[in-house]
Amino acid sequence: MTQAAPPAAATPPASPAAAPKSRTAERSLARRALARPEIGALVAAVGVYIFFFAVAPTFRQADSFATVLYQGSTLGIMALAVSLLMIGGEFDLSAGVAVTSSALAASMLSFQLTANVWVGVGVALVISLSVGLINGLLLIKTGLPSFLVSLASFLMLQGLNLAITKLLTDNVATNAINDMDGFESAKAVFASEVTVFGVDVNITVFYWLAFAGLATWVLLRTKFGNWIFAAGGSKESARAVGVPVNLTKIALFMTVGFAAWFVGMHLLFEYNTVQAGEGVGNEFYYIIAAVIGGCLLTGGYGSAIGALLGAFIFGMVNQGIVYANWNPDWFKFFVGVMLLLATLVNLWVRRQAARR
């Protein structure tokens, strides 16, 4: 190209016929697999499984595996919603206590009104979705980071949980509701056991897998999934091309609200009564499960399958320590090690994948 040449001649659009030969070979299957966000979690899950399989004989039994899956599911349903939110670029620190809030609301409302428990379940859903909506609106209207906004709602919810429970029951736990109308049918939906090949598996495990499938489909195969990645990856670019970023984020917070309601209902109908102080600290486990599953803290990257694997690893470590007859106090130490290793593996994997 010379400056003196007339513009048309100087810059002809390259014709397809003159297309340069591809300079890079097709990336191998292994390389492409490495580019998936959940690959690190898959490797870790297999490693943890083999480890406890070797050191804890009880771990090998089918019953134990069902318990591991159950542990994974109660954490995992929340971790799925939290991972979607994280891919969308936001945090929700109120997720842990929101589960308790939902269970408390359903329980106390039904008990105080001596109504059918399904009334409480319905109202709890409205409350949980509203908490998500308020979190989302606060984020957008104030422009504050979601870390701060949800930290504030975490503290407020925790205070409400304790204060209202004590006000209504003079206790920090709710009254048992297992003799009330509709309890049996609600328990069948939220907390029943299903026998698979002679092993009792809690129904939450199946919900967990179904939600993971749904979340994966939404993320990778729908418009909304595209918007989630875009909202977390680059908010300004997304907005510039017409993605409704605010709507996407509010919907994600409400998804966390829905998951909190679902897990809250499970806990209520599994244990009949709810402790008002429960749930604190769980929000970090959800985030950790999502991070182990390959979600970037900065948003725009991650997967639902990864969050599923992250929660599964949690279940294995949690139960594996018990089956290996170790002191359960070691659990948190293991979680810390897992988190560190997972983040390092994810970092390494992404570098490998980016290298072409």
Partner 1 sequence: MTTNDLTKPTPAAEGTTEPVVQLKGVGKLYGNVRALEGIDLDVRPGQVTCVLGDNGAGKSTLIKIISGLHQHDEGEYVVDGKPVRLHNPREALNLGIATVYQDLATVPLMPVWRNFFLGSELTRGPWPIRRLDIERMKETTQTELSAMGIHLDNLEQPIGTLSGGQRQSVAIARAVYFGARVLILDEPTAALGVKQSGVVLKYIAAARERGLGVIFITHNPHHAYMVGDHFSVLRLGALELNAARDDVSLEELTNHMAGGTELAALKHELAQVRGVDVEELPEVVNSPST
Footprint on this chain of partner 1 (rule: CB under 8 A)? 1, 3, 7-8, 10-16, 19-20, 22-24, 26-27, 217, 221-223, 225-226, 229-230, 233-234, 236-238, 240-243, 300-301, 354, 356
**Torsion sign (Cα): 8, 9, 10, 13:** positive
Q: Please count the residues of the chain.
A: 356
Query: Which residues are paired to 173 by β-bridges?
Result: 275
Measured from the CB of residue 7, what is the shortest distance to partner 1 in angstroms? 5
Measured from the CB of residue 2, what is the shortest distance to partner 1 in angstroms? 9
| Among 250, 245, 218, CA closest to 130 | 250
The residue among 221 and 332 lying less far from partner 1, judged by its C-beta, is 221
The residue among 26 and 170 lying less far from partner 1, judged by its C-beta, is 26
318-322 long-range contacts (CB < 8 A, ≥24 apart) are 318/68, 318/71, 319/59, 319/64, 319/67, 319/68, 319/71, 320/48, 320/51, 320/52, 320/55, 320/56, 320/59, 320/68
The residue among 143 and 356 lying less far from partner 1, judged by its C-beta, is 356
What is the C-alpha to C-alpha distance for residues 92 and 132, in angstroms, rounded to an integer? 9
Measured from the CB of residue 301, what is the shortest distance to partner 1 in angstroms? 5
Q: How many CA atoms lie within 13 A of 61 on its CB side?
A: 12
Measured from the CB of residue 243, what is the shortest distance to partner 1 in angstroms? 5
Write the CB contacts of 63 (distance below 8 Å, at least 6 apart in sequence).
199, 200
Measured from the CB of residue 100, what is the shortest distance to partner 1 in angstroms? 31
The residue among 11 and 112 lying less far from partner 1, judged by its C-beta, is 11
The residue among 44 and 230 lying less far from partner 1, judged by its C-beta, is 230
Measured from the CB of residue 231, what is the shortest distance to partner 1 in angstroms? 9
The residue among 192 and 343 lying less far from partner 1, judged by its C-beta, is 343
